Amino acid sequence: MNLANKLTMIRVFLVPVFIVLMIIDSFWANIFALLVFIAASITDYYDGVIARKNNIITTFGIFLDPLADKLLVTSAFVSFVGIYTLNIPAWMVICIISREFIITGLRSIAASRNIIIPASMAGKVKTTSQMIAIITILVILVVNATLTKFFFITPYELMEAAGWQHFIGLILIHAPYWLMLIATIFTLYSGISYLVTHKNIFLDQK
């Protein structure tokens, strides 16, 4: 197994670790969840760099790399729904996951016909918006846990205060929802863009 595939395997193994940490949802668990997600994201970047630099393209890597990415991102979004303080509705995550299933199916149909669907700009924006949303929300969880553990105050209590504390409370409470909404919009747009661009494949036309 080459180095790029080893990094991909590391990312896969980090997914259950991340899920357990999110379930625990404590001060230290939130910190380690953030670090684990960042570490997994770094492996995603470098396995691609190494594969391109050494021109290493394997069937194993083609299959596992996008699967590892989807497992990591999906585990984060589903975990967020279970944390009530984030106020993230399930419908957003359902839309994101549905898009991934549909586009994966489209790529599978294309691959069966020896057609490669390259990543589009909309797809790259989608991925960027999702990563920004996840990392920022994880940081917010760490901040919330820090406030509770060391300052004995919650974001809701901050929001009820005056001045800058009220503003900070508003951000901590409402930012996760709006970050997820933006990521959901970009995700749906990229999915629709793929379907429209490659509608001939989807409609079984030449």
> pLDDT by residue (tens digit) across 99-109?
998 988 888 78
Helix (H, G, I), strand (E, B) or coil at 58: coil
CA distance 202 to 107: 9
Is CATH 1.20.120.1760 what the domain over 1-82 is classified as, yes or no? yes
Task: Name, in order, each residue with C-beta under 8 angstroms of 188's C-beta and a sequence gap of 6 or more.
Answer: 95, 99
Mean pLDDT of 3-15: 87
| pLDDT of 205 above 60 | no
pTM of the model: 0.91
Give one DSSP letter per residue of 89-127, joined into a string: -HHHHHHHHHHHHHHHHHHHHHHHTT---PPPHHHHHHH
Task: Indicate the domain borders of the chain.
Answer: 1-82, 87-206
For residue 58 the two structure tokens come to 């394997």
- Contact indicator for 33, 22 with CB cutoff of 8 Å: yes
| pLDDT of 172 above 80 | yes
Q: In the structure, what pLDDT confidence band is assigned to residue 30 with cuts at 50, 70 and 90?
A: very high
pLDDT of res. 59:
67
> pLDDT by residue (tens digit) across 56-84?
777 666 677 788 889 999 999 999 999 98
Cα→Cα distances 181→98, 117, 178, 185, Å: 15, 26, 5, 6
> pLDDT by residue (tens digit) across 113-150?
877 777 788 888 999 999 999 999 999 999 999 999 99
